[in-house]
Structure 1
Amino acid sequence: MSMSPFSLLVLLHAALTAAAPARRATNGYAPITTTCPSTQLVRQADGISSAEASYIAQRYQKASQALDSWLKSVDESFETGQGHWGDWHGQHSKRQWTEWWQQQGRAPVIALTSSGGGYRAQLTGGGVIKGFDSREAPETGVSGLYQALTYQAGLSGGSWLLSSIAGNDYPTISSIQTNLWETALQNSLLVPQILVSQQARPIYNTVQADVQAKAAAGFEPSIVDPWGRLLSYGLLYGADGGVQDTMSSIASGSNFTSYNAPYPIITALGSDLSINGVCIPQPNATQYEFHPYEFGSWDTGVDAFVLSEYLGTSFSAGKPTSNCITHYDQLGYVLGTSSNVFASACSAVPANMTAEATSLSLVENLAYLTAPGAPGIPEEALFGLFPNPFQNFPSSPHVSTQKTLELVDGGVGVAYQGNPIWPFLHRNIDVIIVNDNSADTVGNFPNGTEILHTYEAAVAAGLTTMPVIPSAETFVSKGLHQKPTFFGCNSDETATIIYIPNYNYTYPSGQPTSKIQYYKNETDGMVANGVQIANYGGKADWPLCLACGIMKKSGNTLPSGCSGCFEEYCYN
């Protein structure tokens, strides 16, 4: 079943206002006031944090061992070093990093990105991970590559996928698929008949209480609050749809503390509504990232990070102005922010005081949902709202006077970027595997437009790590939108991008982003097709060629078959 995001909001209103009188959520959604620690909470973005560096140093050891095992399973003649991640996590040019990597004989640092695209992206991206995961059966020729990842990023539907993995302490996709997704997506709370049913009434009551509790705690709710809460019931195992799960609490999971998982990053875009009245993100819009240790941006004009645990705290010049706030980084609110397309309405919303859902128009519903009984809501209530931790901070002139950061889905705007590549252009990543499940075409498949936008934005920002990406016309004419392609093969100045687009190998995977219900057979079909995307439909030379692409810049001797792979897969 498909419906527009705004039609969905009408349903959200119907459910929440038709529910029984509100009660406080059992496990609590509202942000919590606490005493501030004496340690530094806000810093300039002069490299990754010491906490992230410490995690990556440990994770890299396990990832490089896993990569060595996978490479040897593909071809015994592959050579890969183990080495130490060491002190090379600071600001160094890509060429310096590559030269050092080659001299040390190190294994590459590998990241995976999962694009936006609603449930299409969640399920297809989940299948790709399932194909890469050595814990899954049956094995594919690329099983084991997931264990070799050091980083993983998600945006919008890809953030739903990453949140469902990281928020549940990194189970297999098969496990989440069977025990959560199949039932949750078939009985989707986003479907009108299900949302207003008697069976769903307890969830409606809880979500309504959550939104009101946040307002009572002194924080302005937005449509992202009920949006993220309802999504979470299909993504997180925790009580009341994972209401206690936060971005920072991921760091306490057993697989995270054992360094068994790639470091997770979720992205969103900033709006300049409060600065210059521009609602839709422009090509130079600020890219923000959420991860277990920090939230912030590398971009000029912000160039700062705050500890994720203390998001929601009022800061001035990097210092708390009073007590600290925790639990504002609630995971549902983060994944809801990353998938927030509602702010594209770009207008204040008047209210209709009636509570009869059948009589409410779209704008009336939006007003009643975010502020019941109020005369209306301002335009900014359509955004993911975060008290600005960078007020009066020296490195953040662009947002220095903003009281609140207003965030949207990274896949919207004038030059939308549906692939969360940006965080890895600011870290020394050797190989970025980009799984693109965007809907650039009428058939809901990618055509290279969104990764091209990232390249153009990187050039404008002076980021030389991003390899050259051709036009969408070239993507289509050369068939690059329907097959894996390697970008940056022959440049020591850039990362290597392994581009893996959605393609319908075994199932019609070009489902619309607006599709909000998947029956069990559809969920299983989408995930199974994602496995085939990871394994290039079972093409015989793919495991070898993928391994060759990953190791091309290592400086090590490569198997003889790699030369043919580079001719077939490298874009020059």
Structure 2
Amino acid sequence: MRSSLVALVSLAAALSGTHAQSPASIAYAPTVGACPAGTELVREVGAVAKTQTLSHGELDYVAARRLDVLPAAFASYLAHVRNAVPGTKLPAYATAILSGHGHKLPNVGIATSGGGHRAAIFGAGILNALDGRNATSARAGTGGLLQTATYLAGLSGGSWLVGSLAQNDFPTVEEMVFGSATTTGWQTQLDLLTPSANATVDSAFTAALFGEIAVKYFEGFPVTIADVWARALSRHFLNGTTADDLLNASLDHGAGVTLSSISKLPSFVSHQQPFPVVLANTLTSKDNGSEFIFPDNIVPLGNPIYEFNVYEMGSFDPTLGAFTPTKYLGSPNSSECVTGFDQMSFVQAISSNLFTEFNVTGVNINDTEIGPIIQALEANFPEAGIRLDTSAVPNPFKGVSPHTFADADQAVLNLVDGGLDGEVTPYQPLLVKARGVDMIFAIDAVADTDENWATGLSMVATQQRVEKFFNTTYSFPRVPTNESTFLNDGLTLRPTFFGCAEPAWSAAPLIIYVANGGPPRGGAAVTNTSTSQTAYPLAQVQTMLDSAFLTATQGMAVEKHGREIDDPLWPACLACAVVDRTRRDMGVARSGVCATCMKEYCWS
């Protein structure tokens, strides 16, 4: 297997250096040209919250979305809530806020966690329940909340979901996953790296992936396992590939689709999409004095967290506090600008690059399942000083903040899976005070237990990071300090609100926490699959989507006639949480059904 793969890759690499280059290899390779006049490749944002600023592109997008889209979106959401609880009247303040007659419209963010296919599918099922375009979700009273969101953040498996939604022009979940007239759908039924039962076909498939990254290498850019991973992910989560044409060399298979190019899609131009953000972690070159390792995790909590959005890539962490234009990621200097480095599939691969785990356990990486790929990389693309198990990104921040930024003297950033520091739910970009997020709908599909259920550890890690390092930069509500509280209080088995009692001066958002902590009431355990499972029959995907939908729409258990039923007030309670920060800012006391709901669903 290994020798045949190396040989096939060598052939693919040789062909990529000649006229036999495929459309995918050409489209995936970055290009270098003169920078447009006035281009600035580094924007420093300051070390504390009061000095931080957002990019002009993000500011303009958010402002336009809030002005042109959100008033109607909130009004539609309110109508769905009212229809779902016809005998229950929301307090006047809640109706006024959702109607746009209150102090301000809530600033809503959604965070969807990592966890491979499990997380992507579970997150998709939750988003489906929040999508007002789904008639069943609208009748449930949860539909429409997705349309009110200003931000949508994902990492690892969640980045596959967020990137797919954005790149596919914000379709419905059914269209995105199963395909439509304009989308090819997710190819979950095929394994990511070994899509065939035939070893020869699988080797040829891997060789094709290598051929598609070869031109990038020949153009002088580093290539690692993340590039091979990117080309595989592209065939499964970006539009343009079906199961029948997986090896069709005449197609680009999503190559050339960049994160920055999403700005040209109709749903983005019209501000219909929530602003997408993808997260990644980093292995720094040395200790910057803030090492703090969450138990059993590879990346210290103090390492910079990088975010990728349509306009910029960088970190708000005060150890760096700088961004570079996403469109010009990979640029060597201010006179030569690179374009095409920010491939959407590559960003998804960076965020989900778990392969570093193989190299920190004392096991020879060549003896693992990715050993043949690493060997083929070493044999065909020799690169001095490049870590092949990470995602290599030319460092745009070289020389920035040398006293606090550990990689200030490095030519390349070694980026890895966004959850390797323990924060597997991407709260971080939604805690940036300059964004002013009021409420985070957090989707936690992390495999914290041996049975692959979530126990809240990601939230615990986020709280510890914020408290230990960056209280001046981020604010996070008080949450349990250990998973025992989550489990003993059943907080992962029902929606739970965190931050209900934060003082008026606190900038911490309210968090609506929905976890894959167990099967929905009356349902089977179908969403607790292993992170390492890399192929899902479409029927299994549908079953998981349906289960996640129930998780999002049932609310907590209510006893009636001696048996447990879904909470009939859950749509109203969800709406009460959505408006609660705005209510607080207005100086209005909770009342009516909202007072009851917040007492029942809030963790104290």
TM-score (norm 1): 0.86
* Paired residues for 1:225-264 under 5 Å: 225-238=227-240, 239-264=251-276
Determine the structure 2 residue equivalent to 1:306.
Answer: 324
Counterpart amino acid of residue 519 in structure 2? N
Q: For 1:428 and 1:119, how far apart are their aligned partners in 2?
A: 31
Change (3 A) 1:340 1:14: farther
For the pair 1:184 / 2:195, whether they are aligned, the reply is no
Post-superposition shift, 1:214? 1.1
CA shift in 2, pair 1:418/1:144, >3 Å:
same
Corresponding residue for residue 531 of structure 1: 549
Q: 2:355 matched to which residue of 1?
A: 342
* 1:442 equivalent in alignment to 2:450: yes
RMSD: 3.1
Name the CA shift for 1:364/1:551 in 2 (closer, same or farther; >3 Å).
closer
**1:241-274 alpha-carbon deviations (Å, 9 max, x no partner):** 2101111011111100000010000000111136
Check conservation: 1:349, 1:366, Cα contact below 8 A: no
Q: Distance in 2 between matches of 1:111 and 1:219?
A: 35
CA contact (8 A) 1:170 1:255 kept: yes
Query: What displacement does 1:402 show?
Result: 1.2
Partner deviation per Cα, 1:362-413 (whole Å, 9 max, x = no partner): 5752432323247897672211111111111357743221111111112114
Relative to 1, partners in 2 of residues 1:21 and 1:184: Cα closer, same or farther, differing over 3 Å?
farther
Measure how far apart 1:539 and its partner are. 3.3
Q: How far apart are residue 181 of structure 1 and its match? A: 7.8
Q: Which residue of 2 aligns with 1:35?
A: 34
Secondary structure of the corresponding residue to residue 581 of structure 2: coil
Corresponding residue for 1:79?
A: 95
Change (3 A) 1:108 1:245: same
Q: Secondary structure at the match of 1:490?
A: coil
Q: Write out per-residue CA displacement over residues 407-462 of structure 1, whole angstroms, 9 at most, x where no aligned residue.
A: 1112114xx10010101111210001100000001111110111110011011121
How far apart are 1:10 and its partner, in Å? 11
Moved more, 108-117 or 128-137: 128-137
Specify the alignment match of 2:530 in structure 1.
Answer: 512
Q: CA deviation at 1:223?
A: 0.2
**What is the deviation of 1:56?**
0.3
Aligned residues of 1:370 and 1:377 also touching (Cα < 8 A): no
Partners of 2:9 and 2:262 in 1: CA distance: 29
Aligned partner letter, 2:567 = K
* Change over 3 Å in CA distance of 1:44–1:82 after alignment to 2: farther
Q: Does 1:22 align with 2:22?
A: no
Query: Which residue is equivalent to 1:4?
Result: none
Q: Secondary structure at the match of 2:133?
A: coil
Counterparts of 1:82-481 in structure 2, within 5 Å, are: 105-139=103-137, 140-179=140-179, 184-191=187-194, 193-194=196-197, 196=199, 198=201, 201=204, 204=206, 206-238=208-240, 239-273=251-285, 280-315=298-333, 320=334, 322-346=335-359, 365-373=372-380, 380-394=387-401, 397-413=405-421, 416-426=422-432, 427-460=435-468, 461-462=470-471, 463=473, 465-470=475-480, 471-481=482-492
Report the counterpart of residue 3 of structure 1 in structure 2.
Answer: none
**Could you report, residue by residue, the CA deviation over 1:192-247 in whole angstroms, capped at 9, with x for unpaired residues?**
6357464995x545422222111101011100001111011011114532101111
- Contact 2:354–2:417 at 8 Å: present in 1 too? yes
Pair 282,350 (structure 1): closer, same or farther in 2 beyond 3 Å: closer
SS at match of 1:469: coil
Segment of structure 1 superposing worse, 455-464 or 261-270: 455-464
Q: Are 2:509 and 1:501 aligned?
A: no
Structure 2 distance, partners of 1:173, 1:406, is 33
8 Å CA contact 1:368–1:376 kept in 2: the answer is no
State the AA in 2 paired with 1:497: I
Q: Secondary structure of the residue that 2:61 maps to in structure 1?
A: helix
Report the Cα distance in structure 1 between the residues aligned to 2:368 and 2:105, rounded to whole angstroms: 57
Question: Using the alignment, how far apart are the partners of 1:313 and 1:465 within structure 2?
Answer: 33
Q: 2:75 aligns with which of 62, 68, 76?
A: 68
Indicate if the aligned counterparts of 1:337 and 1:384 stay in contact, CA closer than 8 A: yes
Per-residue displacement from partner, 1:294-347 (whole Å, max 9, x unpaired)? 0000112211000000000014xxxx2x41111111111110000011122347
| Structure 1 residue 559: Cα displacement | 6.2
**Cα pair 1:191 1:516 within 8 Å, conserved:** no
1:521 aligns with 2:524: no
Determine the C-alpha separation between the residues in 1 that align with 2:127 and 2:322.
31
Q: 1:233·1:240 contact (CA, 8 Å) conserved in 2?
A: no
Which amino acid in the other structure matches residue 409 of structure 2?
Answer: T
Q: How many residues align?
A: 532
In the alignment, is the contact (CA less than 8 A) between 2:209 and 2:231 conserved in 1? Answer: yes
- CA change 1:34–1:186 in 2 (3 A) is same
- 2-side partners of 1:498 and 1:300: how far apart? 27
Counterparts of 1:524 and 1:69, CA distance in 2? 27
Structure 1 unaligned residues grouped into runs of 5+: 1-6, 85-101, 353-359
Q: Note the C-alpha offset of 1:183.
A: 6.3
Report how far residue 504 of structure 1 moved.
1.9
- Deviation of 1:565 (Å): 0.8
**Who is 2:61 aligned against?**
55
Give SS of 2:125's match: helix
Distance 2:117 2:358 in 1: 22
Which letter maps to 1:529?
A: S
Q: CA, structure 1 residues 196+364, in 2 after alignment: closer, same or farther (shift >3 Å)?
A: same
Q: Does 1:569 align with 2:601?
A: yes
Cα contact 2:499–2:511 (8 A) shared by 1: yes
Farther off after superposition, 162-171 or 65-74: 65-74
Q: How many angstroms does 1:167 deviate by?
A: 1.1
Distance change (3 Å), C-alpha of 1:15 and 1:546:
farther
* Distance in structure 2 (CA, Å) of the matches to 1:350 and 1:138: 50
**Alpha-carbon distance in structure 1 between the residues aligned to 2:223 and 2:347:** 13
* Higher deviation after alignment, 49-58 or 25-34: 25-34
Q: Equivalents in 1 of 2:383, 2:36: separation in Å?
A: 38
- Deviation at residue 187 of structure 1 after TM alignment: 2.4
Cα deviation, residue 568, structure 1: 1.0
Gaps in structure 2 of 5+ consecutive residues? 46-51, 83-88, 241-250, 292-296, 556-565
The reply on whether 1:488 has 2:499 as its aligned counterpart is yes
> Residues 383 and 107 (structure 1 numbering): CA distance in 2 closer, same or farther, change over 3 Å?
same
Match of 2:571, SS?
A: helix
Post-superposition offset of 1:554: 2.1
Change (3 A) 1:72 1:465: farther
C-alpha distance in 1, partners of 2:160/2:298? 23
> For residue 550 of structure 2, what is the amino acid of its counterpart?
Q
Q: Distance in 1 between matches of 2:386 and 2:498?
A: 40
Structure 1 position 64, deviation (Å): 3.7
Query: What is the match of residue 93 of structure 1?
Result: none
Change (3 A) 1:82 1:53: farther
Percent identity, aligned pairs only? 31
Superimposed CA distance per residue, residues 277-310 of structure 1 (whole angstroms, 9 cap, x where no aligned partner): 9993112111000000000001122110000000
